[in-house]
Amino acid sequence: MKQLTTAIVIVLVAGSIALGQAKDAKKPEAKPIPDLCKGVIDPYDVSGEKALFYASAGVDNELTSAEFAAAKGKDKTFARKFDSWRTLITFDKGDKNGTVDWTEASEYRQSTRRKVMGSFDKNKDGKLTGEERTAANKALASGRLSLSSRQAARDARTAKWRADMLAKYDTDKDGSLSDTEKAAARKAYEQQAKERMEKWRKERELREHDTDKDGKLNETEAAAAAKQRAESDKRRAEYEKRRAEFIKKYDTNGDGRINGDEWKTARPAMMEAMQKRVTAQYDTNKDGELDDDEKAAMAKAHEKRREEYRKRYEVRRFDKDKDGSLNAEEGAARDKWRKDYEAERAKRHAAYIKQYDKNGDGEVDDKERPSRSRGRRGRGGGDRGGRDGGR
């Protein structure tokens, strides 16, 4: 009996080993990560990239969006899988003709290299080796790394902010902030934000209510400013209440924010609530919907509010003598800025239409519109619970 039991155990063990080997044999080997940094990041082969660019750009030596799309992802081409035309075209700063020449493409490549090296060259030796190179290649292969010049600038500001935070609040000098240090930093930040807001409100009240322009508020002016502040505080309190109720209702994982899959349920409810509030505000005949006259009144009110916001912004930007209004010189600077802004906006719109209007009707419909232009709102992605929740 003992011999039989021993034999059964041996057979079972042998079978388990065989099954494990069979599973291992069937398991596909992980594909090696290509060295995407070579030639583009470390080392950067200028002549090689230049040759690849001209091969992709065609006889006019100007790279168009169509040529970029045709070359992207192919072997030995300038447009790598991680490259983006939307980012590359932002370097069209010279003639602004909607195409990219080698000078502009070279600047883009240099920006790409600075971005990747800044993110992954941890020991700052000017090279990507070992784990640094592996991490950089993974990021480039997955597309997680944004290579836009604007993003690079934002990342630089974030890095500086983090360094400043460590310098101020890392009391034990261990290179990171403990929970206690984070609490101290958060408290200081909230106090600074409160002081900035109070300063901004006082400047705004003086700018809007100092009718006699003597640089201070008399009793009548102060009363008008106080009334405006009370109304603003009431609106803010109502918003915060709605936001708290909204997050409490849809924050299923209890992290205090609406994010990920939570937005699939929360966003339709938020849009419906917003629609109800707008309808209630402009539905003068109380029939539960907006007719043409009510929609026109709503559009007029929105346009009036936008114009007020724009005027306040322009006064803050161009009022050099800080008297609360724009004189002739300041007004001229404002008018030039408006003209340049509208011209640039029209140019960007024309380039957008030219790139995506496939049927030539002068508009970009839903089918033609690129997926990134639709934003993240429809996919339940992102994390907007701290800012937009319950609005």
Tens digit of pLDDT for each residue in 56-74?
888 888 888 888 888 887 7
- Determine the pLDDT at residue 326: 85
Residue 382 has a pLDDT of 40
Phi, psi at residue 66, to the nearest 5°?
A: -65, -45
Give me the residue label for tokens 């091969």. 55
- Distances from the Cα of 48 to the Cαs of 106, 125, 222, 253, in angstroms? 12, 24, 68, 51
Please name the residue ranges forming H helices in 58-148. Answer: 65-71, 85-88, 102-120, 131-142
**What's CA 194's distance to the chain center, in Å?**
25
Positive or negative: CA dihedral 325, 329, 330, 336: positive
- Which residue type, as a one-letter code, is found at position 40? V
As a whole number, mean pLDDT of residues 300-325 equals 85
Let me know: does 229 contact 221? Beta carbons within 8 Å.
Answer: no
Local structure of 146: helix, strand or coil: coil
**Is 31 exposed, middle or buried (CB count within 10 Å of its CB: 0-12, 13-18, 19+)?**
exposed
Residue-level pLDDT at 149: 52
- Under the banding of pLDDT at 50, 70 and 90, the label for residue 155 is low
Taking each helix axis from N to C end, the angle separating 102-120 and 131-142, rounded to the nearest 10 degrees, works out to 130
With cut-offs at 50, 70 and 90, classify the pLDDT of residue 362: confident
Other beta carbons within 10 angstroms of residue 43's beta carbon come to 13
pLDDT above 90 for 96 = no
Token match 């937009």: residue?
A: 388
Cβ burial of 140 (10 Å; 0-12, 13-18, 19+) is buried
The predicted-structure confidence for 288-311, as pLDDT tens digits, reads as follows: 888 989 899 999 999 988 888 888
Q: What is the rounded distance in angstroms from the CA atom of residue 34 to the CA atom of residue 138?
A: 9
The residue behind tokens 């500086």 is 160
Count CB-CB contacts under 10 A for residue 95.
Answer: 10
Per-residue pLDDT tens over the stretch 200-225 = 888 888 888 888 888 889 999 999 99
| pLDDT (0 to 100) of residue 384 | 40
pLDDT tens-digit readout, 7-59: 444 444 445 544 455 444 444 555 677 888 888 888 888 888 889 898 888 88
Q: What span, in angstroms and rounded, lies between the C-alpha atoms of 112 and 78?
A: 13
Q: How far is Cα 357 from Cα 191, in angstroms, rounded to an integer? A: 50
Q: State what percent of residues in the chain have pLDDT above 90.
A: 9
Q: What is the largest CA-CA distance in the chain?
A: 111
Question: Mind listing the pLDDT tens digit for each residue in 226-258?
Answer: 999 999 899 989 989 988 999 999 888 888 888
* pLDDT exceeds cutoff 80 at 369: no
Mark 184-211 as b/e (b = at least 16 C-beta within 10 Å).
ebeeeeeeeeeeeeeeeeeebbbbbbbe
Lowest mean pLDDT among 1-5, 169-173, 324-328: 1-5
Query: Which residues are within 8 A (CB) of 270 and not within 5 positions of it... i.e. 6 or more apart?
Result: 246, 388, 389, 390, 391
Can you give 180-194 as a three-state secondary structure string?
A: HHHHHHHHHHHHHHH
Q: CB 349: neighbour CB atoms within 10 A? A: 11
pLDDT at 372 over 70: no
The whole-chain average pLDDT of the chain stands at 80
Amino acid in position 55: A
**Tens-digit pLDDT profile for residues 98-119:** 888 888 888 888 888 888 888 7
**Alpha-carbon distance values, 57 to 10, 44, 68, 82, 147 (Å):** 68, 20, 8, 18, 21
* Alpha helical stretches, state H, 251-379: 262-282, 292-318, 328-356
